[in-house]
Amino acid sequence: MGWNAALKAHFAPAAGPQLLLLDLDGTLIDSVPDLAAAVDAMLLGLQRMPAGEEKVSHWVGNGADVLIRRALCAGDEQAAVALAADDVTPARALFDAAYLQALHHATGAYPGVSEWLQRVTTPKVLITNKPRLFTLPLLASLGWSDYFVQILCGDDLAEKKPSPMPLLHACQTQNVTPQQALMIGDSRNDIQAAKAAGIASVAVTYGYNHGEDIAASKPDWTVENLLQLLAG
């Protein structure tokens, strides 16, 4: 396995990055079908109209609590932030129950991802804003649990992406400098976290990113398929 010329040049004299930091939703897997099903089950349980996949795809990326707040407020960001915790708690219980049942019914890997995970031997750390409650069984259902030397979920540390904290924590625990690491994600949260940490970034163009063009976040590179990161 070898990296493409751009990565080799950036990480020279090393042959490539020494640590890979990987987002999950929108980068490795298309989880919107399951998330939307859970959100709609939650809304119906609260006697509200379902939202549907397109709207939910614009709301994901900041963890389950923020997703639920956005769903309860029909995507109104200010109202979602201001929502009282007492309004979120019963909705979260409905969402959790629905998502645990559905999380691997429709979720699947994007093209090239499984092959890329198998071929790349560089240590990989999964950094997701998804709660651990969902992340571990989802990885197990995909047969990916052993691909990662470390798994950092949205409820593991005091801060999550776009904070650089999870990225820097991964580098520290894996004894790698930020300059030797590479962050791969699909959203502005991933790219902002990488920039704040001083870590090079790759953005995939097929992800969610709140319905925005990921190029606006100015990642170091963009790819349409993770296999494009490899030589030849």
Element (H, E) at 99: helix 85-102
Is the separation of the CB atoms in 197 and 167 below 8 Å? yes
Phi and psi torsions of 118, nearest 5°: -70, -40
Residue type, 168: L
Is residue 65 flagged as an active site residue? no
Strands 108-109 vs 150-152: parallel, antiparallel or unpaired: unpaired
Is the separation of the CB atoms in 27 and 224 below 8 Å? no
Largest CA distance in the chain: 60
Distance CA 80, CA 67 (A): 9
Q: Which residues are catalytic?
A: 23
